Structure 1
Amino acid sequence: MKEEQVFIENLIKPLTKDKAFNELVTMYKERLYWHIRKIVLNHDDTDDVLQNTFIKVYRNLESFKGDSKLYTWMYRIATNEALTFIKKKSKRMQISPGELQTRAIENLKTDVYFEGDTIQLLLQQAIATLPEKQKLVFNMKYFESHTFEELSEILQTSVGGLKSSYHIAAKKVTEYLKSNETF
């Protein structure tokens, strides 16, 4: 904990801010990339959201209170940026966020950055059918192995509510996969 406090102080001090921020980007860019990618599904969009996330982190470092871990705070920013991006993009395209997600799933088939097979594509289709909160909770728990306590901090929701959302989402995904079995 003391190490993180020193690191945070270095992120705020004008003389060490840029160097410490470069370290921060190096430490978290891959994890945040994959977190955002699970939400927006498209590589180029993910890069845009990731860049916006780090800009927002950089600009708001002084307002970080230390109530949570730095990483949790950044995940919260990344999550909000990704959700905002989806809303803005769907509004710009004049389609629902759900339709945008459906199109993104279809585009995964030709996305050179998607390394999944038919089963993984089917899993992404199943996840896309979930309501936004269940989708977030499922992705963060299933793919990123966050604890419910970490999710509670990141999403600012009760552990009990998150457990319920995850179990309902897992059940829906399982049902979708069973009803669309092609193997």
Structure 2
Amino acid sequence: MADWTQLSDSELLRAFREEAGKEKAFSELIRRYQERLYWHIRRMVIHHEDTNDILQNVFIKVWRALGEFREESNFYTWLYRIGTNETLTWMEQQKRRSSITISDDEEGNGMGNRLKSEQGYDANKIEWKLQQAIQTLPEKQRLVFNLRYYDEMPYEKMSEVLGTTEGALKASYHHAVKKIEAFLKDH
């Protein structure tokens, strides 16, 4: 196997299951999906360092479980599911670490403050205003919005990743868009 970049995900998965190709196949899978997964996680947690920590945990889990991956869904969907679950777990841990129980509104403000502390933040730029609006959304709506808007993930794939019906996802996305539009009009 001379050019690993030309192999399909299925071929790479087969190579991973053979000891001789394990590391090269895994490296190629990571190279293919690392950037998209990084930005998927980053839009949820904001900070680069937190994103890298979560991403590292995702790839450790993928390495450990890849040999048993049954290919009932495509690799990309499976990887996003692991990334999403790891991100949600991290966010829950952050909430629990806080000694004060906070409401969704306060949580949104907390994420907004994290956004404002991010290097390069400029409240006058439209992309930062959009990020502020997204951070005010409830966690599930934020996740659905990011998957649909940024990753352009079809509802069918989102349903596999999130384990939610397509109808519920469409409703969440619709509500998220309306809330974002309202935020942008007010700000």
TM-score by length of 1: 0.88
Match of 1:122 among 119, 129, 136: 129
Give the one of 76, 81, 86 matched to 1:81: 86
1:65 aligns with: 70
| Paired residues of 1:57 and 1:74 also in contact (CA < 8 A) | yes
Name the SS of the counterpart of 1:146 in structure 2.
coil
Q: Write the letter of the residue equivalent to 1:124.
A: Q
Give me the whole-angstrom Cα distance separating, in 1, the residues matched to 2:55 and 2:13. 20
Residue of structure 1 equivalent to 2:138: 131
Cα distance between partner residues in 1 of 2:53 and 2:124: 25
1:4 partner amino acid: D
Q: What whole-Å deviation, never above 9, does each CA across 1:103-157 have from its counterpart, x for those lacking one?
A: 3432333422668853222222221222221111101111111111121121121
Counterpart of 1:166 in structure 2 is 173
2:42 paired residue among 30, 34, 37:
37
* Match in the other structure for 2:97: 92
- Residue 141, structure 1, aligned to residue 148, structure 2: yes
Seq. identity, %: 45
Unaligned ranges ≥5, structure 1: none
Task: Give deviations 1:27-61, integer Å, cap 9, x for gaps.
Answer: 11111000000111111000000000000000001
Instruction: Report the residue type matching 2:62 in the other structure.
Output: V
In structure 1, what is the Cα distance between the partners aligned to 2:174 and 2:138? 13
Q: Which residue of 2 aligns with 1:10?
A: 15
- Asked if the contact 2:108/2:137 (under 8 Å) is kept, the reply is no
SS of the equivalent of 2:20 reads coil
Matched, 1:49 2:58: no
Q: CA deviation at 1:169?
A: 0.9
Q: Which runs of 5+ in 2 are unaligned?
A: 1-6
Tell me the CA shift for residue 4 of structure 1.
2.8
Tell me if structure 1 keeps the 8 A contact 2:121–2:128: no
User: Aligned equivalents of 1:97 and 1:52: distance in 2?
Assistant: 28
**Match for residue 3 of structure 2?**
none
Per-residue CA deviations over 1:40-86 (Å, capped at 9, x if unaligned) read 11110000000000000000012211111101100000000001001
Say if 1:73 and 1:154, in contact at 8 Å, map to a contact too.
yes
What is the total number of aligned residue pairs between the two structures? 179
Question: Which deviates more, 23-32 or 110-119?
Answer: 110-119
